[in-house]
Amino acid sequence: MSIEQLAETAQAMVAPGKGIIAIDESTNTIAKRFAGVGIENTEENRRAYRELLLSTPNLGEYISGAILYDETIRQSAKDGTPFTKLMAANGIIPGIKVDKGPQPLAGFPGEVVTEGLDGLRARLEEYYKLGARFAKWRAVINIGDDIPTGTAIEANSHALARYAALCQEQGLVPMVEPEVIMDGSHDIDMCYEVTEVVLRSLFGSLYEHNVMLEGTILKASMVIHGTDAEEKASVEEVAASTLRCLKATVPATLPGIVFLSGGQSDQDATAHLNAMNQVRGLPWPLSFSYGRAMQQAALKLWGQDMKGNYAKAQDTVFARARDNGLAALGQWQGG
């Protein structure tokens, strides 16, 4: 695939007023989510839940793409339509999570590096044939006593860059996700400092690996206080700090940035995105790639009554997509 085609896909992913829904939870992760609402973790329940999300009426008005899991990209709706074809019919671009998750970084207690590069070229080739047009790889950066170290940041940036180069080789837009974890008592200034170093390292590695930024999307964490911080930053402070950090580190040639919710409440994730988009003249579109912040209210409803609440759960998914789509334009009114 040419850089023009990759760039076209990347631009479609961050089309005005649209964002990405992340439904790429591993089998173990979805088991925890299901357990929280009393749903048995069976393959059929996982399939039915993903169908509920992907078949939400008019979802394509506010959702440009969806990140799937290996199991999900191979599944079909109850009428036999493959999920990827169902998505394409609704104007939603299929994406796929391709990393194998974070593992302890040997010699560096408290730090991790994401694995999954072995055999990745062949997996990407298969996913393209299955209908995927973009992929996602998540790196995890923890903040704590004397961490993150430069070694951990460099190791994760290197892995993200190798993954991104392989994606583009196979015609997939790489979504690079260096998540600075909210867990901890650090303040917003510490988060800013770490996020700036991480993003500088990432884009340096992407450049060294000849990754074409015009066909790449950044999935970023917001610059925000830790979950246990004594001092909580306001919506305006989070928005201002995040924008300042991005302007200092992210090249203007990037087609767009989508944010992860990263443990924020549904309302906070939307409010922060909205506040950032009220600033005009930014070099790139800012949108969303939310998982829990898009799903958790709907999952709770569906768990209470799988058949009776099906339509209500879909209405909730659509409402969350609409609110975040408006926030991606800076037009969300709250509520």
CB 16 within 8 A of CB 329: yes
Q: What share of the chain is helix, strand, coil (3-state, %, to 5)?
A: 50, 15, 35
Residue of 214, 219, 237, 307 with catalytic role: 219
Q: Is 123 exposed, middle or buried (0-12, 13-18, 19+ CB in 10 A)?
A: middle
Single-letter code of the amino acid located at 139: A
44 is annotated as an active-site residue: no
- Is the separation of the CB atoms in 199 and 250 below 8 Å? yes
Question: Is 227 strand, coil or helix?
Answer: coil
Which residues on adjacent β-strands are paired with residue 217?
175
Residue 24 CA to residue 80 CA, distance in Å, equals: 21
Q: Which residue has the tokens 């911080």?
A: 229
Q: Helix (H, G, I), strand (E, B), or coil: what is residue 219?
A: strand
Tokens representing 264? 């924020």
d(CA 135, CA 98): 7
219 is catalytic: yes
Give the C-alpha separation, 31 to 180, whole Å.
24
Q: How far apart are CA 248 and CA 245, in angstroms?
A: 5
**Structural tokens at position 7:** 């760039």
Residue from 51, 111, 177, 179 carrying the catalytic annotation? 177
- Active-site residue numbers? 177, 219
